[in-house]
Amino acid sequence: MLAEYWPVLLFIGIASGLGLALLVIGMLVGPRRPDSEKLAPYECGFEAFEDARMQFDVRYYLLAILFIIFDLEIAFLFPWAVVFQHIGIIALIEMALFLLLLVIGFAYVWKKGALEWE
């Protein structure tokens, strides 16, 4: 049974070895010339003007999470569209329900004002 997994194990071993070898070569051959600019906390050219622990507006995170949710939900349409001819009318009804729930969720988020930035 191990013979069936031999190509996969070989691939994992070669990939791990190559990754480790490249890291070691980079550490040995790479230049190590730190200067004051490289060791500075910010490389943008000016000193930090506020505390690094300042609070961010929660709307930024909310908008990012909503984008990820709706973007991933739409990604479910692609595999469905590829096999649509083979799965029939039941799958069409299921996808219509899925899209209906997605639109209801989007309308709810819009009505609550989660997409408003100001």
**Pair 103, 71: CB distance under 8 Å:** no
Q: Is residue 118 part of a domain?
A: no
Give this prediction's pTM. Answer: 0.48
Under a CB-based contact definition with an 8 Å cutoff, are residues 102 and 73 in contact? yes
107: Cβ–Cβ under 8 A, 6 or more apart, which residues?
none
Residue 19 located in a structural domain: yes
- Is residue 38 classed as helix, strand or coil in its secondary structure? helix
pLDDT digits (tens, 9 = 90+) for 94-107: 889 988 998 998 89
Provide the domain count of the chain.
1
> Around Cβ 39, how many Cβ atoms within 10 Å?
8
Q: What is the pLDDT of residue 58?
A: 77
Residue 117 lies in a domain: no
Residue 42 sits in which domain range?
2-112
Asked if the structure places residue 24 within a domain, the reply is: yes
In terms of DSSP H, where are the helices of 1-118? Answer: 2-29, 36-39, 58-75, 77-82, 84-112
Residue 8 lies in a domain: yes
**What average pLDDT does range 52-79 have in this prediction?**
80
Q: What is the CATH number of the domain that holds 80?
A: 1.20.58
Tell me if 91 is assigned to some domain: yes
Helix (H, G, I), strand (E, B) or coil at 111: helix
Q: Over 60: is that where the pLDDT of 110 sits?
A: yes
